[in-house]
Chain A
């Protein structure tokens, strides 16, 4: 991945927006990587939690938005629980999802979910899943 670093990218409107709705400050993160190390789904992410935060720090809006990371985050709070700076990557991911759902619409087609899942899964999975994936 080639990144062009320039001062003008830092503190972009997009990053400010995500910081405002999440209540988190990307610059608090000093990149220890505990969050990505503890994240059970980082193996599946284009960029792990600490990498997404780093991309926020250097204003790489597009790279953040096209990464699958926000959709893979399961909200287990392990990142936050192990962060020495009390940064909640999970909150950042939720805010990224909120932004994406608001601008691009649903991430999941309810009609395409397996009938078996809709029939047997605990309601909480369906409620929680729809809150995360549907605008």
Chain B
């Protein structure tokens, strides 16, 4: 096991708590594929939103502190949460490209960071470092016959010039991974639309928006033939999970589908036991479907 490539990993506020099963399934799959996620020794919350006002330099200090810690651990840092990825990657770009802001932030947090770190999402490690071909070779339990809708949401992709992980209108990185696992990805119109994000914290009106947008995503996926939806963000996962019961109630002919993190399916295909992947933690259980499809 000592041959594993160690990759510094930033969990962020949610992966250590309500999305523990996202983290655990990613960590166990990583080991099968020859790398290890090594949690940063010290870290703080990234702020959970990139400050969009150009003059909000204060909002960049928390994520920069994370980058400083990561920089001590290596030249690359990885995340699982799409929001952390978005905030860290964009902050890193500002620190690297904007000399004036770099000076102000460094003065404020009393550090000397130059933006030299490489911020990558776990999906990018699978695609660019491990390679989907190798992932395919490592599959011991093919997901053959599973029709899956890959839901991207916003933060993984936008804005394109900052994120650049994939095409921001027609991404395929998750589908490419699913194909490597033997599954049959299903394209659907709403795969890059917003789930309503944090608006649940905005009172009644916000809740209504979240359930409507999440419903649009699920109806679009299921209407296109998906029997299962995968997400790459704890907030997307939560919003879809919480909204599905209402869709079942209100939309004639809609039956609930399992909603899981892509890493849980990755772990399954790599031969990990169900318990290692905490499949019981998902609100809409996938195990019945796996049995039906003889996966």
**A contacts, CB < 8 Å to B:** 20-24, 40-41, 44, 68, 71-72, 74-78, 80-81, 88, 90-91, 93-95, 98, 107-109, 112-113, 117, 120-133
Give the total of B residues in contact with A, Cβ under 8 Å: 46
A124 adjacent to B12 (CB under 8 Å): yes
B222 at the interface (CB under 8 A from A): no
Q: A72-B209, A123-B13, A125-B201 are in contact. List 20 more A-B contacts (CB 8 A).
A: A75-B197, A76-B154, A76-B158, A77-B154, A77-B159, A80-B159, A81-B168, A108-B203, A122-B18, A123-B45, A124-B13, A124-B14, A125-B235, A125-B238, A126-B201, A127-B47, A128-B83, A128-B201, A129-B198, A130-B201
Chain B 141-169 interface residues, beta-carbon cutoff 8 Å to A: 154, 158-160, 168-169
A21 to B53, CA, bound (A): 6
| Chain B residues whose C-beta falls within 8 Å of the C-beta of A128 in the assembled complex | 48-49, 83, 197-198, 201
Q: Is B251 an interface residue (CB 8 A)?
A: no
- Using known A-B contacts A78-B194, A122-B19, determine if residue A129 contacts B234 with beta carbons closer than 8 Å: no
Contact (Cβ within 8 A) A121 B53: no
Interface residues of B in 80-139 (CB under 8 A from A): 81, 83-84
Contacts of A41 in B (CB 8 A): 194, 199, 209, 213
Complex Cα spacing A3 to B283, Å: 50
Q: A44-B209, A125-B197, A133-B202 are in contact. Are A22 and B83 (CB under 8 A)?
A: no
Q: Can you list 10 residue pairs at the A/B interface with Cβ under 8 Å?
A: A20-B55, A78-B158, A107-B202, A108-B202, A112-B203, A121-B200, A123-B13, A124-B234, A129-B200, A131-B49
Tell me if B8 is interfacial: C-beta within 8 Å of chain A. Answer: no
* Contact B55–A40 (Cβ < 8 Å): no
Residues from chain A with Cβ under 8 Å of B203 in the complex: 108-109, 112-113
Give the contacting residue for B201; candidates A76, A91, A113; CB below 8 A.
A113
Inter-subunit contact A124/B48 (CB<8 Å): yes
Kindly report which residue of chain B lies nearest to residue A116, judged by CB atoms.
B242
A124 touches B235 (CB 8 A): yes
- CA–CA, A120 and B18, complex, Å: 8
B81 nearest CB neighbor, chain A only: A124
Judged by a CB distance under 8 angstroms, whether B1 is at the interface is no
A71 x B202 contact (CB < 8 A): yes
Q: How far is the CB of A23 from chain B (nearest CB, A)?
A: 3
B52 interface residue (CB < 8 Å to A): yes
Tell whether, in the assembled complex, residue B197 and residue A91 are in contact, meaning their CB atoms are under 8 Å apart: no
- Within the assembled complex, what's the spacing in Å between the Cα atoms of A129 and B55? 20
Q: Which residues of B contact A68 (CB under 8 A)?
A: 205
Give which listed residue, B19, B51, B59, B159, contacts A81 with CB less than 8 A: B159
> Which of A91, A124, A129 is within 8 Å of B202, CB to CB?
A129
Decide yes or no whether B54 CB sits under 8 A from chain A: yes
| Measured CA separation A129–B213 after assembly (Å) | 17
A46 → chain B closest CB, angstroms: 12
